[in-house]
Amino acid sequence: MRKAERESFLKSFGVFFLSLALLSGVLEYFEYFKLKHDIHEKVYNEMRLCSYDLKCTQYEFDFVPLESKKLYQLSESNQELYALFSLPKNDTYALKLSLSQSHYQKLLRQSQNLVIGHYLWALAIISLISAFFSLFALHPLRRALRLTEEFSRDILHDLNTPLAALRLNVSRLSIAQKDEKKIARITQSIDTIVSLGDNLRGYLEEHDEKREHFDLHTLLEERLMTFQKLYPDITFSLNQETLLLDTNRDAFMRIIDNLFSNAAKYNIHYGTVTIGVNRSNASLLIQDTGKGIDHPEKIFERFYKENDRGMGIGLHIVKKFCDMLKISIEVESHPGTGSLFTLHLAALTVR
């Protein structure tokens, strides 16, 4: 079950379960008071029968001053449950039959245990019903996700042919023509399309199930070699510290590629991109000398962009991958001073 499906299932299950559990709890609450009322009715009827011949062992009896307002009704005190009955030809005293508070509480506990037992059985049945309805409600979402994934994979597969043809033609142009700048721009555009396809392909993969150990410094060096060729006028620098990570390497590489691409693409001419691994607090810092960001709080929103370049999905993809891999990402940026992205990798670090 994918993350979106799992989240949908849990939320649906929670709504179904809590709603039915609350309704069942209210019903059991009323059932308890009904059982309590039945106990009172039973005790009173037994006391009334006992008042004729006093042949009952569970009730104590006594003669007390007559209180006409309490005759023939069940009353409760801190010590007992009792009822008063009139005596023939006697206007001064009344017969008092009582049930000790301990015996009464025992009867109530029996009722409470019965109600709790019913409620636990009800919760078990409710959980099964909630799971069934949640799976039933999840079916259309799962089908839609599968169709979307199949469509996306088909598109990615079909893109391979035109991209291969473009690369072949560009290689021929580079031999026949002398305009290296134009050819470099075409090559860069093709690489951008390939990178976006890799982002989408990586997004469709199950990242949690494909974890591996790898050296962060080695991965950064590999990616910097690629980006140095794509952006020859940008200076990339990397310190020598490293971390051993345990996560999905391809998904992590998609994060790095998007951040490196943005840092180079929106940099000044002959600018620099500084990459630093901080071993002490398990973090990765990527700083550029670009124009900065006017609204850094919005950059992870889908399709948000501050200029006409790009499509506004690169950093949104970065945030999605970071959430998947449990990476905390922060950005500091001010117009004219460049941007600093910090990835906190403590959750991925192998100790």
Query: 109-125 pLDDT, tens per residue?
Result: 999 999 999 999 999 99
Burial-class residue 267 by CB neighbours within 10 Å (0-12, 13-18, 19+): buried
Residues 312-339: what's their mean pLDDT?
84
pLDDT of residue 56: 84
Residues 47-59: what's their mean pLDDT?
87
Which DSSP category does 351 fall into? Answer: -
Asked if the model's pLDDT at residue 332 lies above 70, the reply is yes
- State how far the Cα of 161 lies from the Cα of 181, in Å rounded to an integer: 25
Residues 222-241: what's their mean pLDDT?
89
Which DSSP category does 1 fall into? Answer: -
Structure-block tokens of residue 151: 């469509």
- State how far the Cα of 228 lies from the Cα of 239, in Å rounded to an integer: 16
Among 142-156, 185-199, 303-317, whose mean pLDDT is lowest?
303-317
* Residue 91 vs residues 54, 66, 79, 87, 242: alpha-carbon distances, Å: 20, 7, 26, 8, 99
pLDDT of residue 313: 63
β-strands 235-238, 272-278 pairing = parallel
Average pLDDT, the chain: 83
Asked if the model's pLDDT at residue 272 lies above 90, the reply is yes
- Three-state DSSP class for 81? strand
β-strands 328-333, 90-100 pairing = unpaired
Structure-block tokens of residue 18: 């809590």
pTM score: 0.52
Burial 102-140 (b: 16+ CB within 10 A, else e): eebeebeeebeeebeeebeebbeebeeebeebbeebbee
Q: Beta-carbon neighbour count of residue 59 at 10 Å?
A: 21
Tell me the range of 117-121, 145-149, 152-156, 207-211 where mean pLDDT is highest.
117-121
- Confidence category of residue 126, pLDDT binned at 50, 70, 90: very high
- State how far the Cα of 158 lies from the Cα of 19, in Å rounded to an integer: 47
Domains, the chain, ordered by start: 3-136 (no CATH), 211-344 (3.30.565.10)
Per the CB < 8 A criterion, the answer to whether 291 and 336 are in contact is yes
Which amino acid appears at position 215 of this protein? D
Which DSSP category does 306 fall into? Answer: S
Name which residue leads in pLDDT, 347 or 210.
Answer: 347
pLDDT of residue 287: 93
Q: What is the pLDDT of residues 19-52, one digit of tens each?
A: 999 999 999 999 999 999 999 999 999 999 998 8
- State how far the Cα of 261 lies from the Cα of 189, in Å rounded to an integer: 12
